[in-house]
């Protein structure tokens, strides 16, 4: 079939549909981050569906891919999490340029900056040039936590509340799955309702954009705060690719340089609705 089958890989269990190589939607670049493999919050099955549906010349892993903090406490590594890693490695082997910028939860990998593993290049940050000639600084974003000291107390209070919210988010979606309802992000709704969270996010975005301006680039791509966004700050465009714990989003660059945030839960729901409609039509 393809070169992959000749590799000495363990048999992969492929949850969901695996589209043949040629039928994947192709982008110039894809950015994903904050996957948090090794935690229960990670939506690995949705990410697998995403990886099986899209392809790109370059794939950026913008940090917090594996959650080393959680894994140190307790090893949690289901098959689906392993499948994500294999899919990324296969992609690198097939010729996609894969650039991995470790975040604060996988800072363990920062010591390997400049090295390459199976075609995955580890970098601290990266300058991406778009098809329309713009230079974008790509980094994880935790670099700005120190500058946001005034908000530290919020981070501490926020952490406990956040963990609770994530547990609740998972329970709600277990019930929704059981009721055959599509994925819905409770925390996304909550975050937009809490004034402090909104202020925090907006301050972070401003800081990152300001730093990008200092470095004379046209924009910045980051992750870290689990909030996908495309926002203009003067001459600087701020991009955040979101996460695969709550929002399940990715940032993509089209072949003409146009940038877009993909909301994968919505895409999956739309696809399912179309499939259901086709089935009803067939039955009628
Ligand atoms: Mn982070």
Query: Rg of the chain over CA atoms, in angstroms?
Result: 19
Give the percent of the chain with pLDDT over 90: 62
Distance 235 CA to ligand 1 centre (A): 26
Q: Note whether 154 and 200 are within 8 A (CB).
A: yes
Gap between the Cα atoms of 116 and 106, Å rounded: 16
Please report the pLDDT score of residue 133 as a whole number: 97
SS3 content of the chain, % helix, strand, coil (to 5): 45, 20, 35
Gap between the Cα atoms of 246 and 35, Å rounded: 10
Please report the pLDDT score of residue 8 as a whole number: 45
Distance 243 CA to ligand 1 centre (A): 10
Please report the pLDDT score of residue 282 as a whole number: 85
Of residues 9 and 36, the one with the higher pLDDT is 36
Q: Note whether 237 and 137 are within 8 A (CB).
A: no
Q: Note whether 262 and 230 are within 8 A (CB).
A: no
pLDDT tens for 74-116 read 889 999 999 999 999 999 999 999 999 999 999 999 999 999 9
Closest CA to 36 of 67, 63, 72: 67
Tokens of 137: 């600084």
Of residues 157 and 199, the one with the higher pLDDT is 199
Distance 62 CA to ligand 1 centre (A): 9
Distance 182 CA to ligand 1 centre (A): 27
Alpha helices by DSSP H, 76-151: 79-94
The answer, as to whether pTM is greater than 0.75, is yes
Domains in the chain and their CATH numbers? Answer: 24-283 (3.60.21.10)
Q: Note whether 264 and 241 are within 8 A (CB).
A: no
What is the pLDDT of the chain when averaged over all its residues?
86
Closest CA to 35 of 249, 192, 187: 249
Please report the pLDDT score of residue 17 as a whole number: 43
pLDDT tens for 230-270 read 999 999 999 999 999 989 999 999 999 999 999 999 999 99
pLDDT tens for 122-179 read 999 999 999 999 999 999 999 887 655 444 555 555 566 667 777 788 888 888 888 8
Please report the pLDDT score of residue 232 as a whole number: 97
All residues with CB under 5 Å from ion ligand 1: 64, 103-104, 142, 224
Distance 24 CA to ligand 1 centre (A): 29
Gap between the Cα atoms of 224 and 245, Å rounded: 12
Please report the pLDDT score of residue 145 as a whole number: 77
């Amino acid at each position: 079939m393809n070169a992959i089958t000749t590799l000495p890989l363990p048999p992969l269990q492929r949850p969901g549909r695996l589209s043949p190589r040629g039928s994947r939607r192709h982008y110039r670049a894809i950015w994903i981050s904050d996957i948090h493999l090794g935690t229960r919050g990670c939506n690995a099955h949705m990410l697998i569906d995403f990886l099986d549906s899209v392809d790109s010349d370059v794939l950026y892993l913008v940090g917090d891919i594996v959650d080393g903090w959680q894994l140190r406490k307790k090893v949690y590594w289901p098959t689906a999490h392993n499948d994500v890693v294999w899919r990324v490695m296969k992609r690198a082997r097939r010729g996609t340029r894969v650039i991995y910028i470790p975040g604060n939860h996988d800072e363990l990998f920062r010591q390997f900056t400049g090295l390459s593993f199976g075609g995955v290049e580890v970098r601290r940050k990266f300058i991406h040039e778009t098809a329309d000639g713009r230079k974008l600084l790509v980094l994880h974003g935790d670099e700005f936590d120190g500058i946001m000291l005034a908000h530290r107390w919020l981070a501490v209070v926020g952490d406990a509340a956040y963990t609770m919210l994530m547990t609740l988010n998972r329970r709600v979606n277990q019930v929704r799955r059981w009721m055959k309802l599509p994925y819905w992000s409770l925390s996304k709704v909550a975050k937009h309702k809490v004034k402090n969270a909104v202020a925090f996010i907006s301050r972070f975005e401003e800081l990152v954009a300001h730093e990008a301006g200092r470095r004379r680039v046209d924009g910045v791509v980051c992750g870290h705060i689990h909030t996908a966004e495309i926002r203009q700050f003067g001459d600087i465009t701020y991009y955040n690719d979101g996460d695969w714990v709550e929002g399940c989003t990715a940032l993509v660059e089209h072949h003409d340089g146009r940038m877009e945030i993909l909301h994968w839960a919505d895409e999956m729901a739309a696809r399912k609705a179309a499939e259901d409609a086709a089935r009803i039509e067939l039955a009628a």
